[in-house]
Amino acid sequence: MEERIDNNPIEKKRKFSKSKVAFIAIGILLMVLIIIIIVVNAYLNRSIEKTEGSIELPILKQEVQVITDANGVPQIEAANEHDLYAAQGYVQAQYRLFQMEMSRRQASGTLSEVAGEAAIDQDKYFRTLGLRRAADESYALYSDEAKLVLEAFAKGVNAYIEQAKQSNSLPVEFKLMGFEPEEWTPLDSLTIGKYMAFDLGGHWEQQAFNYYLLQQFDEEKAYELFPSYPRDKPVIMEEEHVSIQDAFSKVMIPHTFNGSNNWVVSGDKTASGFPMLADDPHLGLATPAIWIQMQLKTDQQQVSGVIFAGVPGIILGHNDQVAWGVTNTGPDVQQLYLEKRKPNSKAEFLFAGKWVEATVIKEPIAVKDGETIDYEVVETRHGPVISEFAEDSGKENVLSLRWTALEPTTELEAILQINKATDWKSFEKGLEKFLVPAQNFVFASKDGTIAYKANGNIPVYDNEKDALLPLPGWEVESVWQRYIPFDELPKIINPEKGYIATANNKITTDDYPYHISNVWAQPYRYERIADVLENSEEITVEDMQQLQMDSFNMQAKEFVPAFLQQLKGEELSEQAEHALELLKEWEYEDTVSASEPLIFHYWYEKMEATIYQDIPDSMLDLFKVKGQSTDALLRKGINGENSAWLEDYGGLQQVLITSLHEALAELEEKYGEDMSEWEWGDYHRVYFEHPLSSVHPVLKYFFNKEDPLPVDGSSITPMAASYETETGVVDHGASWRFVIDMAEAGKGYHLVAPGQSGHFKSQWYHDQLDDWGKGDYHETYLDRKTGDQLILRP
């Protein structure tokens, strides 16, 4: 058949018209899409922090200059303190308003209003604790000067909120969550301060866990898991310390737990001949960073460092004369009380032989897209009833909590004073008002002084065992009567050793007259830091930075040889024998390219899973000293001593064999049969998660587009990088790294990861993420002359 050729001109025209229409439609859709992208992009760009030009702020009395350096660090220079703190509030809000909003809501227990029912349990907990109630009581204690600072700061935040609302330039997170921020108040700043006391916490969970152990296991087995500190490990206050009233001129030595590191070195051990200080507080790692780095300058002060977003001043850092840093002391500042409730009465409890009426506080919880919950908090004379949050320990008991942070305190007052300190005397004077959380302060001065003080409200226990378990709330003798006097808190000034270091380890020896804590970090971070400093001279800034990034694993150094000895001659799989050969040659560095840290840490985790398999996961969450207790059990087994927890599973050798085979089988499934291809960095990776990234993959693309970054270290190395055991994702570590040589007191070396800004389109959003993994610090100068210049005009 012949092929039919359609030469009908009308048909051709119709087909051409259809193609043309389709082409035009596609073009229109593309144009609409481009317009949408342009509009959305313009909207997003409106909320990026402004660092150049000028902005009118009627709240100011005089002009304020803000110079922002290449790392997004603003230096605020004002003619008076009102304008300084008003500008600080405004600038913080530019960088971190959404974070500030969520922080005050979390601490106040009002997240459900914007996040819905998923946040109800969390809100109940924070309403019960009453951080905002405690902040409200604290406000009355502040001086008029401090109140003016809080009010000026709030004015600055509110000026930004008002401008952002009027110009439709609030951060996009508010649009995504469907709400706008309310007015900022001084109480919000104080409540965030109280939240940081919560984050650095106490030990009520461990008391609840100890109580559970005694309820579920025989006494001997239960007491094996009670916290204890190895007697042959170092403490901060050495045995040769003088009396408490003395200047403690001979002492020092810090410890370990994934909390924080700091140290200070005298000029006798440094290349410059001046003291040097390093600090890296370990907190949760997320986007935005917990800290925001800033500089504040008036004729009265010039200070540089970091502060929590939502709070005025500088909490950690330096001025041109002194520098300071902190780690968490971790004292027993939380005490659980067993309460006897009167039958058929909700709010009467026995005390001193009489029924005493408790306070019932109405805390209605508004829930987005839901009904308001009529929640009530019961407060006994000791504190709020928290039984519902104590898992199995609270099932058949009434447990109340006394905590120093729930009392009126004056931390901001202290911050404002130490920002202006010029020597140790004026600095220590400021510490009198820093009450919670109790912190290990290290100090360096340009005049050559180095010093240490464990500072804060620390209750006096007549018997240290009282802090291990809930106390009878009906007995007068159980009530805290006083705190360790300020002049008798542990202190060191210019020790002969030439350095002072802390890493959340035990502070004092047994002859110190007061109890501090039963719960300390494992000693490995401190041991490594002290070993390096002890054997170093002519120390430089680079040496201090390298020590902050040090990944040497002292735990492995202690236990691996002992494990190898225990398994010598035992019948093991070929795979296990190969793993032990690798560990035998390991130099104990937790580095990303090595397989040995992966084997060791997995093995250790499987040991814990074996030993504690009879304890439900809900209670293990309250087991705050699990690592410390595991180490103690392992040492018992190595030394040939009996341990019920080991014997129940065949003794130490069997626990080691079982857990090693389980660890290797799991690793082979995840990373293949070739052990030489396994790498710590395949598992151990840092991820600074934005709170909205888990909501939807599209949001994750914008807020967390980078892949998790392989990093050295672990929870027990100076380069502290604690991780979720199921995923290996590092979510806790050095939230800020800081080093300073007092020979150049106007210059500091910093890292604030993942970056200064909370806006995902800002150049300073995740610009310090890679730097955090590599240890690349940026320099910040007090006398800054160059950078983006923004003028805030009255």
SS (H, E, C) 75-98: EEECCCHHHHHHHHHHHHHHHHHH
Classify 681 as helix, strand or coil: helix
Distance CA 14, CA 18 (A): 6
Nearest one of 717, 782, 738, 719 to 264, comparing CA atoms: 738
Distance CA 746, CA 780 (A): 8
Distance CA 646, CA 171 (A): 54
DSSP β-ladder status, 74-77 and 291-297: parallel
* Distance (Å) of CA 534 to CA 269, 425, 435, 444: 9, 27, 32, 18
368: tokens are 């987005």
Q: Which residue has the tokens 């003088």?
A: 242
Distance CA 21, CA 34 (A): 20
Distance CA 714, CA 597 (A): 9
Contact 498, 265 (CB under 8 A): yes
Give me the DSSP letters along 712-742. --BTTSSSBEEE-TTT-EEEEEES-EEEEEG
Q: Which positions make up the binding site for Ca(2+)?
A: 332
Nearest one of 695, 702, 717, 715 to 766, comparing CA atoms: 702
Residues paired with 291 in a beta bridge:
308
Is-catalytic flag, 643? no
Distance CA 335, CA 211 (A): 13
Q: What are the helix (H) ranges across 478-595? A: 524-534, 541-548, 554-566, 574-585
Distance CA 420, CA 179 (A): 39
Distance CA 420, CA 426 (A): 8
* Helices 81-108 & 144-166 angle (0-180, nearest 10): 80
DSSP β-ladder status, 53-56 and 788-793: parallel
Distance CA 640, CA 347 (A): 52
Distance CA 516, CA 513 (A): 10
Residues paired with 55 in a beta bridge:
792
Q: Which residue has the tokens 């995902």?
A: 760
614: tokens are 């009879």
**Residues in the chain, overall count:** 794
Distance CA 485, CA 488 (A): 5
Which one is catalytic: 260, 387, 393, 595?
Answer: 260
129: tokens are 């604790």
Residues paired with 177 in a beta bridge:
none
Q: Which positions make up the binding site?
A: 332
Q: What is the DSSP letter of 36?
A: H
Contact 711, 686 (CB under 8 A): yes
Computed on alpha carbons and rounded to an integer, the radius of gyration of the chain in Å comes to 29
Distance CA 175, CA 44 (A): 11
Q: Which residue has the tokens 């840093």?
A: 325
Distance CA 546, CA 550 (A): 6
Distance CA 355, CA 345 (A): 10
Distance CA 264, CA 279 (A): 9
Q: Which residues are catalytic?
A: 260
